[in-house]
Amino acid sequence: MTDSQKKAAYWQANLRLVLICLIIWFVVSFGFGILLVDPLNNIAIGGYKLGFWFAQQGSIYVFLGLIFFYASQMNKLDRKFDVHED
């Protein structure tokens, strides 16, 4: 693989990963927290209605997980495609 092919493949892998992460990002916040809030509110966890919980708590925890997942996967990609720093 030439250097520019390698860079292109790295970029494609990155875009795929970003897309997966952003789908999850959208589903937990806009999906569970806003569009599907009413049906989810029929389910209760403790005193929280589930839709309300996603809107005010759950989505934030998922966002956190997503960023660290992305960062660690990208570190692997950086090495795999040999584009890492130092």
Partner 1 sequence: MDLKTMTYLVVGSTFLLYIYIAIKARAASTAEFYVAGKGVHPVLNGMATGADWMSAASFISMAGIIAFAGYDASAYLMGWTGGYVLLAMLLAPYLRKYGKFTVPEFIGDRFYSKAARITAVVCLIVASLTYVIGQMKGIGVAFSRFLEVDFSVGLVAGMVIVFIYAVLGGMKGVTYTQIAQYCVLIFAYTVPAVFISLQLTGNPFPQLGLGSTLAGDNTYLLQKLDTVLMDLGFGAYTAQKGSTIDIFLLTMSLMIGTAGLPHVITRFFTVPKVKDARSSAGWALVFIAILYTTAPSVGAMARFNLIDTLQIGKIGSAEGNLKYEDRPQWFKNWETTGLLQFEDKNGDGRIQYYGPGLEEKAAGFGWKGNEMVKVDRDIMVLANPEIANLPNWVIALVAAGGIAAALSTAAGLLLAIASSISHDLMKGVFTPNISDKTELLASRIAMAGSILVAGYLGLNPPGFAAQVVALAFGLAASSIFPALMLGIFDKRCNRVGAIAGMLTGLTTTLLYIFAYKGFFFIPGTAIMPDTAQGWIFGISPGSFGAIGAVLNFAVALVVSRMGDEPPEHIQHLVEDIRVPGGAGAAIDH
Cα–Cα dist 86/70, whole Å: 20
Largest CA distance in the chain: 58
Burial class of 66 by CB neighbour count within 10 A (0 to 12, 13 to 18, 19+):
middle
**Minimum distance between the CB of residue 84 and partner 1, rounded to whole angstroms?**
5
Return residues touching partner 1 (CB under 8 A).
Answer: 2-4, 6-7, 10-11, 14, 18, 21-22, 25, 29-30, 33-35, 37-38, 41, 45-49, 52-53, 55-57, 59-61, 63-64, 66-68, 70-71, 74-75, 78, 82-86
In the complex, minimum distance from the CB of residue 23 to partner 1, in angstroms, rounded to a whole number: 11
In the complex, minimum distance from the CB of residue 32 to partner 1, in angstroms, rounded to a whole number:
10
The C-alpha atoms of residue 50 and residue 23 are separated, in whole angstroms, by 20
